[in-house]
Structure 1
Amino acid sequence: MAEAGVDNITFLEEAKAAVIQLRRAQAVKDEQELQTKRLEKALTLEKKAVADSIELTIRKRKAEITDSYDTQIEEIQGHLKKIRNKREKAKNEGMKDRIAEETADLREENRRLNTEIKTGFRQDRVPGFCNSLLFYSLYYTRGLKEILVFILTFAVCFFCVPVGIYRLTGVDSTLVLILLYVVDIFFFGGLYFLLNNQIKVRHLDALRKGRENRNAMAANRRKIKAIKNAIRKDKNEEMYGLEKFDREIEKLEEEKIGVANQKQEALTHFENTGKVLIAQEITENNHDRISKLDADFTHSSELLAEYRERLRKATMILTERYEPMLGREFLQEEKLDALLAAISSGQAANITEAQELVRAGAPIGVAEPPVDSDSEQGEKRESSDAT
């Protein structure tokens, strides 16, 4: 029986050593796993930093190339704008001179006609205000413009004035409005007929002559307007002397196209060659640091794989050798110590009895004092003597 107890103790001590070995293997594996993750994260960040640096540098260099050529193109564009403005100004001056030349006779005739009207009015003692658009629109209406003036004047005198006065008074009475209309009609109507009798009838010939001259002037103004429109629409610009501006504009346009082509060639070269060189340069500058991190990460990964294998083997040893006898419940250092104490103290003859004691929560490691047979017999004799 003692030999069996020794075997159980040896088995439990070996199981405890296996549990401790598993715990240590798990701790080493966990620590190595953390270290590997840290190295992997550092390596990833470094590679990303290099990639970001390459991208940023490429974007910056490309922007610099673009800005350089765009600056030249903008300067050419500014010069082109100035030349075009000068050309347009020269053209407008030429058109202005051409219009003045081709309409000189008509404008001179209008001046003569206007002078004739003023002279006729002075000789016939016609008031100066009669030589106006308003007067001729009211008494010698001709054309759409004078019809519109007549209608507008009528609306102002016979609608706006009475209604405006009525609203200003603030009186809400139809009778007041009617009275205002009556007064308005008498006033403006009387004024209209007064001017008709005192001016139009008395100076009929002078006013009719003025009407004829105004019609002739209006016809000349329409001719002048038609000439202006024809000159502005005329595509022939040879008479304005714009050749020097056209030559300079053509030269600048060619220069702008040349710069644009150079820009495209530079960008194409940069895409094909410059980007590769920049990537190589930045990669080489960071090669040592990334290579070291990569090597450390590779070494750490290999160690991690080794520690995982050790952990797997330690786990298999517990599972195959000790778990069938002890069960997973007792594969713990504290409980194995309790089993060892129960068997060592003699409280349990084997592992199964020790497990039952541990499950029952009995005190472990406190042995009951042995019963002394001689003392027991002496006590029995004393008891008999006393009887």
Structure 2
Amino acid sequence: MGQDSGDGKDLPFGVEYARSSRAACKGCKSTIQQDTLRMSVREPSRFFDGLQDNWFHFSCFWKRIVPGKVEINEKSIRGMDAIRWDDQEKIREKIAGVENGDLAEAKTFSALKVEYAKSSRGKCSKCKLAIAQKEIKFSKFGTWYHQKCLFGEMKYEGLIKEIEGFNKLKSEDQLLLQESLKEFQTEVEKLVEEVKKKGGRGSRKRKAAKAENNEGESSAKKPQNGDSTNGVENENKKALKKQADIMWKMREDMKKNLSKYDMQNLLNANDQPTPSGESNILDHLVDCAVFGCCDHFVFNSLRTYECHGQLSEYTKCTYKNENPPRKKFVIPADYKKENAYLKKLKVNLLPKRTYNEALAKETVVGLV
């Protein structure tokens, strides 16, 4: 994929905080708890015109991102600027790891898939022989294998039952796999010991020395005009952090102190439409309270602001603007009397929304 996407609707990946505890991770199949950070692979829906999110736990998502197989950058992730700053930085670190090849091939059972072969037409990617109909076959990054061809000497982390599709097999086949794949399972105790060793004093000293050497090398290689460029980037980063911190503080306080009814009333008082869903109502209210109110039909679409109105009965409005005209957000006096939080609340905190200037150099990427 190499197209650009201004508003975030057609991006191949997504990130948000889980809105409930109903969804299960597509990787490990366990529940994604409400309010935890989750990431998605977005694919064309069979039920509506557009992309649907296939959600993963944060850690499960990155087990599937393999250098050379999948490309990912910040511009390709829907919702990046709508999450907390610390979580944005966490994702940027992961992306840097992919770009540097630091994320090795996933070695977890949750990165695999198992099912019964629907026909005898498919061939094993290793031995090139046919996989018999109804035989159990395994997939790794989209390519299929016989069981004996996939499992050799490599050990896999996690639980065998975390293999995608495992719970759809017959109970007797589940028991057989639990027994036959046991020798390829990494022991939890060994993992703990390895983590402890890596976190030891000697390891930290080596990392510190390496960081100092790298810093010295990079500073020696910097061009003379690099200071001004870095200065602009740092200012942009500071502005983005300030913006994210202000918006999340506002969001958490509003969620704690206002009912859904209160939020709707505040939007109505500012001649703003009410989106569907409490989370969307809160998002729109925070946007208005921090930056001011846009025109009636203009909404933030995570990469820009766009009009949801109609030019005619058959034609949608195509207006888009990163920083559209706004009017001040107002809290009516009688609302302040009834709610102690609203009485002290300061609004219209930022004159305009700041965007990540580094994204201008990126294009949307996805599956290779």
When normalised by structure 1's length, the TM-score is 0.15
* Structure of higher RCO (CA pairs closer than 8 Å, 6+ residues apart): 1
> Taking structure 2 as the reference length, what is the TM-score of the superposition?
0.16
